[in-house]
A and B are shown apart, each in its own frame.
Chain A
Amino acid sequence: MDQLIVGGVEFKSRLFIGTGKYPSKAVIEEVATASESEMITVALRRVDLGADEENILKYIPEHLTLLPNTSGARNAEEAIRIARLARASGCGDFIKIEVISDNKYLLPDNMETIKATEVLAKEGFIVMPYMSPDLMAAKALVKAGAAAIMPLGSPIGSNRGIRTEEITQIIINEINEVPIVIDAGIGRPSDAAKAMEMGADAVLVNTAIASSSHPRDMAEAFKYAVKAGRLAYLSKMGAVGVHASASSPLTGFLSEVK
């Protein structure tokens, strides 16, 4: 049975989705259903617990696990504060740490992320840190108590695909203690399929779905892509040949020797 377990919770879908950039909050509900996703991230900075119509949480189907994120945090301290507020306002124990100290490229600050992860994991949070792919930082996050590692494929919102392939592949190969979720940059279903073929445990997709002309259909497309990529990975794809070759110019002589 091909199971994905994060923080002790089992997920049937390996596609995680987001809630930002949508044309309306109602679309989020359609996307959640069409994607068959079971985990959805939401920026606490956007959560308006007060008003009914404006509260984004009302549009998220109940069977989805809420993954509040610390978008807007500039350092560990702010991320920790936002995480605690998320839990206090009933958003559960999952938390995606997002510490951005550079708003031009929106690249995560790994050092601050590690600090926040350590503190929050000790407080019982199920911590899923968003990171710039780096093997040593990934190991440090595991040691700090992360429940999953979320390296970026390319800058957030860029839809550029997995430009960090070499390094994320190394992280996938080397980090076996916790699931690896490719987050950010996945621009099209084929990118998601590729991430899964590489052996990622899951992907998180937001902009590519939210900013497409038909978010519901795009969500469905990603659902199939993630399934296809996972199935391909499990089926152990054949080795890629450099070129077809009948003769063995370098080792042919071996057939002549006894």
Chain B
Amino acid sequence: MSFSKIVERYTPEVIAEMSAQVTAEQVLEAIGKETLSEYDFLALLSPAAADYLEPMAERARKLTLQHFGRSVLLYTPMYIANHCANKCVYCSFNTANDIARMQLTMEEIEAEAKAIRAEGFKHILILTGEDRHKTPVSYIVDAVKVLKKYFECISVEIYPLLEEEYRQVIEAGVSGLTIYQETYDKERYLSLHPKGPKRNYENRLNTPEYGARAGMNFVSIGALLGLSEGVFDAFMTGLHGDYLQRHYPSVEYGLSLPRMRPHIGAFQDFTPIGDRFFVQILLAYKLFLPSMSINISTRELPSFREHLIPIGANNISAGVSTQVGGHTTTEASSDPQFEIADGRSLEEMKRVIKNLGYQPILKNWSGDF
């Protein structure tokens, strides 16, 4: 059964009702369990669990040490194009937004790669908008071939590909796939994605599986928190991760917690997710799926990110620019996808992580394997 069939079993209303009925006893029982059911997971996301963040954090800390020790992987994103055929109402790259559009040539990608490599990064995440004409799979493949000379591990956060296309990018040197569902609430999804290929909810939902089947080593999923009702999206993200792990167990998974940030465009109709609830979601993820990495982006503030490391965050970006060619251009030649809140360099992040008593990891894989 595909995950889209599982999603159909739940509605935001039912989940809201179920989570409202959770009792403190159920929360405590879930915290004490070795293996959590999906109902335990929902209990941890419920309003009743908000009073138990400390015991949840204690358990999360133990599980993090058990699975990942005191280590934090550092990587940086590289935007290579921002052409986009979609109209995601919350995104600056929205085709209707009048922003500076560009895509890097192979020479520019190489220059950008050299600059990022000189900062010390070994893991890179390449990003594009969704435009199959301007940035076809062949463009991605060519870019990867250039980047492979400079980086040990290359992940992609690009438009959804077919399984066969994922095989092509893996063959070129990609090991990781990041693809976010944005929101699992289908109705809301359709209203947020009024036009363009991304409007196909089911296709996006099934895409992580295509990557896993094609042989990706790492797959990261997530909901863009704030777009819709938080408990529902977090619950479905967890179920999605659990589904993927059961069906494709050889893949190493990551759960990301991107949270809505100010951006260019008129859309401001989001449900702010407060810090306490954000942490509750992170802890619930860790307790439900302890073997999965947790990724925290530079959308979050520096001190907040640091506090998340001991309780589960083990993938952290640094030296971030969300502009195309942002590592080699001094002036803004394109507009950023979103505003970042943590602009610290790799060296600064390494120092911070060491001061926390953790080891910054720059290499965790090699494309040569």
Contacts and interface: CB of A to CB of B under 8 A. Distances in A.
Given A51-B120, A100-B250, A101-B250, A82 B369 contact: yes
Contacts of A173: none
A85 B369 contact: yes
B363 A54 contact: yes
Contacts of A72: 217, 252, 365, 369
B253 interface: yes
A75 B369 CA distance: 11
Contact of A21 (B70, B252, B363): B70
Contact of A23 (B358, B366, B369): B358
B359 A23 contact: yes
B71 A21 contact: yes
A51 B347 CA distance: 14
Contact of B359 (A22, A73, A85, A100): A22
Interface in A54-82: 54, 72-75, 78, 81-82
Interface in B273-326: 291
Contact of B66 (A25, A104, A211): A211
Interface in B37-68: 65-68
A51 B120 CA distance: 9
A103 B245 contact: yes
Contact of B70 (A23, A46, A82, A159): A23
Nearest to B361: A46
Interface residues of A, number: 34
- Interface secondary structure of B, over-half rule: loop
Contacts of A22: 69-71, 359
A157 interface: yes
B362 A81 contact: no
B70 A211 contact: yes
Contacts of A159: 66
B330 interface: no
A220 to B, nearest CB: 20
Nearest to A48: B363
Interface centre among A25, A73, A78, A211 (most CB of B within 10 A): A211
A20 interface: yes
Nearest to A70: B369
Given A45-B365, A82-B369, A207 B291 contact: no
Contacts of B366: 44-45, 85
Closest 7 CB pairs of A and B: A21-B69, A102-B249, A74-B250, A23-B70, A101-B250, A211-B65, A48-B363
Given A72-B252, A75-B250, 8 more contacts: A23-B70, A44-B369, A48-B152, A51-B362, A85-B368, A101-B249, A103-B250, A211-B70
Interface of A: 20-25, 44-48, 51, 54, 72-75, 78, 81-82, 85, 100-106, 157-159, 207, 210-211
15 contacts: A22-B359, A23-B70, A24-B354, A24-B359, A45-B365, A46-B361, A74-B217, A74-B250, A81-B368, A85-B368, A85-B369, A100-B250, A103-B251, A103-B253, A211-B69
